[in-house]
Structure 1
Amino acid sequence: MRTSLDHRSRAQESSRARPGIAAAAAIAVTLGLVGCAPSPSAAPTATPVPTLPSGVTVELAQLRADVAPRQAQLRVVNGSDAAITVGEVRVEDPRLDGPATRVVPDRVSTIPAGGSVDIRVQLPPVACSTPDGGDSEAVLELVGESGSAEVTASAPDALGFLAPLHARECLQERMADAATLAFTGFRPSAPGEPATLELTVTPTGAGAGTVVGLERTNLLDFAGTPAEDEVFHVDIDVSAAQAAPVVVEIPLVPFRCDPHAVQEDKRGTIFDVRIELDGEPGEFELFVGDELRGHILTWVAGWCGFAG
């Protein structure tokens, strides 16, 4: 009797185990893992593989909405014939001072065969000691029922954003040796009147440079500035002898008054700042910050008459 029960029990356990084993085997093939499927009592294991499954590609891009928060998108395209699951990701580039990692750290992305996903990553500070050049690599954790494996692949910069980002932010870092720049206040205005945006230039007392001016954005213009003038000039010369902050009041009016300009705003509150350092011109981007951005967009909506 015991022999018959034992035989039936083993048969039931085998029947229950078959779907899990089949799924684990499929994942093992997808990940390129080798060896036998582990027994139910064994700890999950995985052997790292050097490349992505055939047909899977990655690329790096920065969209307009990613600029202000200094983020980017790692697009993973699954051209294979099986679904893949991606856990942790790292984007490594010699122009970055550390890896770019998921904005939502614990998220897992399952990509069906023939599908794609954009994984948002947070960019670290740039590495200005590194020359402008190099290639990005993506390290992805591929997850399966039997374990996980890290794979490394080239991640081309699809839109060519990283080199200009590196150049701008390194220029801003050099300028910061002489002075820091920040938008520090905003006073809204009634329709038809200019609002005021405050730019504060704070010398460090340790360097020299010139803040030439600001360029208009796709949302904001400068009151009283001719349309043919590309720059609102402030012309602040900073020297090593200075220490007191300089506050510049910038008169603003909306550049456009269609509602979707506010509703779909991505870069309307990011200004290009023109400077000169060591006799050479340059420019970098300066964001007003999330709080002032909210105030400015609310003002534009009221000024243009489509608030509420």
Structure 2
Amino acid sequence: MKRPPVVLAALALLLTGCSATVPPGSGTAEPSSALPDGVEVTLVQLRADVAPRQAQVQIVNGTDAALEVGAVRVEDPRLAGPAERVVPGDSRIAPGQTLDVRVQLPPVACDVPDDATPTVALELDGGDVAVPVVDTLGFLPPLHARECLAENLATVADLELTAFTPAPAGQLGSVVLSVVPTGAAGTVHLGAVDSTPLLMYVPDAPASPHPLDVDVTPASAPVEIAIPLVPQRCDPHVVQEDKRGTIFTIDVAVDGVAGEIDLAAPPEMKARMLTWVADWCGFGAG
């Protein structure tokens, strides 16, 4: 029996609707929930990854054959979106080798708890795999807590490093922390600023936090705090390989919730600080 054109069109539409839409580069079938035997995947954040807010997916090929790795994506409820590889493309892992794929972390999502299990989805030898992944160094919980605390702080006060004054060798330089209340409801207490791998605040003494002891309310006036600086170490490689030497960790409490935030020197100020340390220590260009 010959079906009318309308019926044929309806059947075609029904069949089309039943086929799944697959994102580009993710294969044509449902992702596997298991890695091939001999393949291990972990998530890690190294010191060099902290400032650019990146992490690395480490893929170990313990098989006897080379592996092709395409798209790599990390998903976690504490992140506002997926963390995807910084450099798109495909990578080849020889047998017995490890591949580190750097991924860019999106902003945090602050309406969820600090604890969760991340998942990594990757294209492996043309097929898709999605599995829970171990955060080897446990960087995600403190990252989430720290950045959410900073987000809450920013609603009450703007913190910024606004000036740097170098000094001759043997003398103290300084950096200025500017604190400007926004006028929004809430309270902030700035307890102390920790020493960095490069800088400390008291010469010829063990590195220790520098007290701030500043309270901020909606009625507070803006304040500028001069923080003394002196190089903590004079090894040339400390400057040459600097990762966190100009990132200042501040102990804060926002509406009674205590924690730490990171405040980085702006790029131009960071460059001047590194030059000053080299000159102060006697190994600069002169």
Q: TM-score range by the shorter chain?
A: 0.7 to 0.9
Equivalent AA in structure 2 for residue 300 of structure 1: V
Correspondent of 1:183 among 161, 165, 168: 161
Contact map agreement 1:48 1:149 (CA 8 A) in 2: no
> Which residues of 2 match residues 189-268 of structure 1 at below 5 A?
189-206=167-184, 207-223=186-202, 227=205, 230-242=208-220, 244-268=221-245
Match of 1:15 in 2: none
Correspondent of 1:302 among 260, 279, 284: 279
Match of 1:56 in 2: 39
Contact map agreement 1:220 1:253 (CA 8 A) in 2: yes
Contact map agreement 1:58 1:154 (CA 8 A) in 2: no
The superposition leaves residues 200-227 of structure 1 with CA deviations (integer Å, 9 ceiling, x where unpaired) of 2121101221112201112101146x84
Correspondent of 1:80 among 37, 40, 63: 63
Equivalent AA in structure 2 for residue 278 of structure 1: D
1:306 deviates by 0.6
Aligned residue for 2:108, secondary structure, equals coil
Contact map agreement 2:201 2:207 (CA 8 A) in 1: no
CA separation of 1:192/1:283 partners in 2, compared to 1, >3 Å: closer, same or farther?
same
In structure 1, the gaps of 5 or more residues are 1-44
* Matches of 1:100 and 1:151, distance apart in 2: 16
* Matches of 1:111 and 1:48, distance apart in 2: 24
Contact map agreement 1:92 1:137 (CA 8 A) in 2: yes
Match of 1:98 in 2: 81
Contact map agreement 2:39 2:62 (CA 8 A) in 1: yes
* Matches of 1:214 and 1:160, distance apart in 2: 23
TM-score (norm 2): 0.83
* Matches of 1:220 and 1:138, distance apart in 2: 37
In the alignment, does 2:266 pair up with 1:289?
A: yes
Equivalent AA in structure 2 for residue 235 of structure 1: D
* Matches of 2:60 and 2:102, distance apart in 1: 14
* Matches of 1:186 and 1:238, distance apart in 2: 23
How many equivalent residue pairs?
Answer: 257
1:108 deviates by 2.2
> Which residues of 2 match residues 105-144 of structure 1 at below 5 A?
106-143=88-125
1:47 deviates by 3.9
TM-score (norm 1): 0.78
Higher alpha-carbon deviation: 269-278 or 70-79: 269-278
* Matches of 1:101 and 1:292, distance apart in 2: 30
Q: Percent identity?
A: 52
Contact map agreement 2:149 2:261 (CA 8 A) in 1: yes
Match of 1:156 in 2: 134
The superposition leaves residues 170-226 of structure 1 with CA deviations (integer Å, 9 ceiling, x where unpaired) of 1111211211212222222221222221212121101221112201112101146x8
* Matches of 1:208 and 1:46, distance apart in 2: 53
In structure 2, the gaps of 5 or more residues are 1-26
The superposition leaves residues 19-76 of structure 1 with CA deviations (integer Å, 9 ceiling, x where unpaired) of xxxxxxxxxxxxxxxxxxxxxxxxxx85454133221111001111111111111101
| Larger radius of gyration between Structure 1 and Structure 2 | 1
Correspondent of 2:143 among 165, 169, 187: 165
